[in-house]
Structure 1
């Protein structure tokens, strides 16, 4: 008869408990599945925007067997700890993701939205089933892994900024042309051209440029935090100085532009078409957003920009005018035509405009000045007949071309009083009024006077 001591029995029991604990630990590979990272599709998602969570999973290379990922889901951190109570709080879930062998990895995309700005703490949970080891079919093989992530949500703002830049037809040139003079390549501006009822691809720059009468570069910039979609452009112009009831000089559009994401811009050329006179043009960008659609909003948002077209950089000015009346009633105006602007005036022609008591310059006898550069001047003289009892000033008409557009403007110089000289002759400094536009002629050649034209370069 073998008698076993109490100490021996206690040692055997402790050994059995230890072996059982080791076996149970080996059968539950909780540490084998890992969430390597959770990244949002946008670094700064906004309220109401559909945001993707890219979840990276892996099965450790030391895992004894493959794991079948049955569920990947996301919910607000702090929700019920009991997995059975989370079903109503789940933001999104991907099921039947697939098996991961030892050392394998995969990515899963979940989607969600946020109703409030600020920091949101989310929990991503992965559930996997792994084959039991050591032939223990009844071992618990469900693996649950969680990872928290903080998402900083920005307030939603849908905003567009519209910028305009008047061009001339000469600014539109092909990519082969020299760009050093400030020319614009249509293909360099998103390849879009607004005119003739819609946007056209600029496959043939020269053809589109030749067809443009009054081109304007329009830049649409998204300064908000949400994408602007259904963007369209319209342009309406009225005569310069006209009241609110004036008939429009131009109405073009709408031209549909592609969606504009936050921080992006779209540039197009809008052709206003032929203009009969200089106009104040309002360009309107109408747009909507995904947030508007989700909220059921039907009204378009809009933003506007204004410009004066055609733009002018030259500024003709008459200075140092001397007006002299002769015995036979003729009047001689001797003055300088200066350019106080920053652009060159070309094809400049000066003449006397008809007025009460003043005879206009006969056809073919206007004074051809030619070109006047920025900050330069050219002397001229014109002659007419005037009835001093009716007229007290002489209207001087100035026609010139700038950036391919022909302008006609007038200013006045004062007739001298008879008391300024004897026997009807007088030498006096005339005065001139503010230059005002009296008409916009088309892009046409200048009329060059005949043999009576005089020019004095000083």
Structure 2
């Protein structure tokens, strides 16, 4: 908007004289010469609704012989008075009066106005002066702006965002936004909204299909009501350079283990410039479909993530197949992963040491969870047999909860009987993945006091190394062997004693 004032050409008024003119006769007394010397308009090109000031310079020429009183100055458009100033002042000989008159216009276009000056000379005679004024009124600049853009390089199927920005300090209401183009199909092209606050903006997303690659224009048009309730319209156009369609998708997958479970996480990424629609994911193993899912559309330059739970998947190679609609055809992308189900929690006895304690033995070791899930309520206990008797203070031991990959120490006490006791049966009970488990393992005794968890109960008894055993409940004792050795010692000792005595008798005879 220009702030410069434009002068209007000076209009001279012919002064007519007469005798005995009554008030309002439209002539000027001979002793005063009043003219409108100039008019300025500020701003020179006002907008609709904007204040515009018309400043008139009124002069009483030096050639006049008397002062002139200005009774009224008015600005009119046709027969309609726009603004009036009453009794603005008196002009002396050679005097000048600058009088501003401010108004506004409700419509645009060229406005042909007339400035009227009414006055009276010193001798009581009246006069009037007319002066033409022309003003060009422009449409009001809208405080509401539109902009169009695509989040990615435009292709034949694109997302177009229209931003509506309300730069006015007040709300606008009854918004109706449309998007159109001569070579484009717009889904849900007309949108309606109740209001938009002053100083705020809103982004409206459109899905647009262009007829083909090339240059294509789009026009957004917004109709709304301003703070005065007047209906207004603003439009914005933009031309897009549309690329040829490209279908390019990538499917990635991996096995994820967490919280005691395993799953396959897959992601489908759209590297092309057209959206992937009606996406379906199939998991196949051994030529059969073991799982399938419906997946949402994948926009341009975006990724959609999917998961398949362990309950649907067998062990071994699993092929994932993603199929989708793109650029008017059906496409698919595949990848393969090697899936291993989660190993349930499993308690194994490790690091067992055996030591004598009074008339019994003490077995100390670790209950180790070698599975991939936690176990709860674990208990180890000595199983009584003909050769093994559980005894206090540790006939059994509550191990409790054992997380995956962890262990808990325990100890048990038992009494052994017989000379061929090689193993101690121990029962292991626990809960894993909601199921109760129980089994008996044979802990083999060794000469060094150590032991190892052997086969489950019922395995054939094996001969171990001599030693240990039932004497005092420790190890294994070969009673027959001991007796034979004692007999041999007695025989040898008796023979030596007999020989010694015989030798003594012979010496006496000499």
Q: Report the TM-score range of the alignment, normalised by the length of the smaller protein.
A: 0.3 to 0.5
Larger radius of gyration: 2
Superposition TM-score, scaled by structure 2 size: 0.35
Which fold has the larger relative contact order, with Cα–Cα distance below 8 Å and residues 6 or more apart in sequence?
A: 1
User: Structure 1-normalised TM-score?
Assistant: 0.38
Question: Which structure shows the bigger proportion of residues in strand conformation?
Answer: 2
